């Protein structure tokens, strides 16, 4: 396959907009070319009934993500880095599923580009992590990173960013809230300067949102950001109850309130 790719490149038969996906592993770094992936016999035409980013049914050429993640174990940690600085922290276990919720790497064909995500916006390409049957494992929008450029094998989050951790004696609601923050917020936001995202503001420095949202306004803002702050370039999505249940939202807010007293 690699030899064919080199031959096509030398003959000038690959489109100039073809792209690379870098997979960083502890032992080595691997680079996958979009033309190579599109030609892989394991790549199929995939129907996604309710695409999170396009908000409609979509059809992709896609390969099961698990076949690209050599050596990854269910307890491992992976980070999906996008071109715009979005950095999704992903548990390996759902990515390795062969039944229920299944992760796929959708590959944009330069000869048949995907539509833009909105007026004046690019497409979700060149690579996009999509899911079939996402409800089976309660896959949230932050687990659908688009414009992917890099997948990184990483040490556990607690080792990399101890400044995110609640106090050792924090109650169960706060500890569960940290899990919700990691799943739903960390792809866009840092906290105490900790995290890899370069997309949204830090949620504890200089102020925590629990310090300036009075009453139930923080809850309302998370549920529907544009209901409180409306502007055309807003990027924060709404977190409905299908994504974040009422108990989970309460846990998240409890974690944020707890971390307001743990500024670094």
Tens-digit pLDDT profile for residues 35-92? 999 999 999 999 999 899 999 999 999 999 999 998 888 888 899 999 988 888 898 9
The partner residues of 77 in beta bridges, in order of sequence, read 91, 154
Q: What is the pLDDT of residues 226-245, one digit of tens each?
A: 888 777 666 788 888 888 99
Rounded Cα–Cα distance for residues 210 and 262 (Å): 13
Evaluate if residue 221 carries a pLDDT over 60: yes
- Domain 2-154 indexed as CATH 3.20.20.120: no
Q: Is pLDDT at 5 greater than 60 in this prediction?
A: no
C-alpha torsion sign, points 155, 160, 164, 166? positive
Question: Which sequence spans correspond to the domains of the chain?
Answer: 2-154, 158-259
- For residue 223, pLDDT over 90 is answered with yes
Q: Which two tokens stand for residue 86?
A: 């979005």
Share of the chain above pLDDT 90, in %: 62
φ, ψ for residue 184, nearest 5 deg: -110, -20
d(CA 161, CA 22): 23
- pLDDT value at residue 16: 43
2: enclosing H helix or E strand: helix 2-10
Q: At residue 204, does pLDDT exceed 80?
A: yes
What average pLDDT does range 204-217 have in this prediction? 94
> In this structure, are residues 42 and 65 in contact, taking their beta carbons and an 8 Å threshold?
no
Judge if pTM exceeds 0.85. Answer: no
> Closest by alpha carbon to 133, among 49, 214, 77?
49
CATH of 158-259 among 2.60.40.1930, 3.50.50.60, 1.10.1040.10, 2.60.40.420: 2.60.40.420
Which residue did the predictor score with more confidence, 84 or 20?
Answer: 20
* Residue 126, preceding peptide bond in cis (omega within 30° of 0): yes
Orientation angle between helical segments 172-184 and 246-259, nearest 10 degrees? 100
Average pLDDT of the chain is 88
The predicted structure's pLDDT at residue 121: 87
Structure-model confidence comparison of residues 120 and 5, the more confident one: 120
């Amino acid at each position: 396959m690699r030899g064919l790719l080199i031959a096509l490149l030398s003959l000038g038969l690959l489109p100039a907009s073809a792209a690379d996906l870098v997979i960083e592993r502890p032992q080595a770094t691997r680079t996958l070319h979009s033309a190579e992936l599109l030609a892989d016999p394991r790549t199929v035409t995939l129907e996604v009934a309710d695409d999170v980013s396009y908000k409609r049914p979509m059809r992709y050429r896609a390969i099961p993500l698990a076949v690209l993640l050599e050596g990854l174990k269910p307890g491992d940690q992976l980070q999906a880095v996008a071109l715009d600085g979005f950095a999704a922290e992903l548990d390996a276990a759902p990515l390795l599923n062969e039944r229920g919720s299944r992760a796929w790497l959708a590959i944009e064909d330069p000869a048949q580009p995907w539509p833009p995500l909105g007026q004046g916006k690019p497409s979700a390409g060149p690579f996009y992590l999509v899911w079939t049957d996402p409800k089976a494992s309660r896959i949230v929008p932050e687990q659908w990173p688009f414009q992917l450029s890099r997948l990184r094998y990483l040490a556990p989050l607690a080792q990399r960013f101890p400044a995110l951790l609640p106090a050792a004696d924090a109650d169960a609601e706060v500890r569960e809230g940290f899990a919700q923050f990691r799943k739903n917020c960390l792809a866009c936001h840092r906290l105490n300067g900790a995290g890899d995202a370069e997309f949204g503001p830090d949620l504890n420095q200089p102020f925590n949102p629990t310090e300036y949202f009075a009453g139930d306004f923080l809850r309302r803002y998370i549920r529907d950001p544009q209901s409180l702050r409306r502007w055309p370039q807003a990027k924060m999505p709404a977190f409905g109850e299908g994504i974040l249940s009422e108990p989970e939202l309460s846990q998240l807010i409890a974690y944020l309130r707890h971390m307001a007293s743990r500024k670094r």
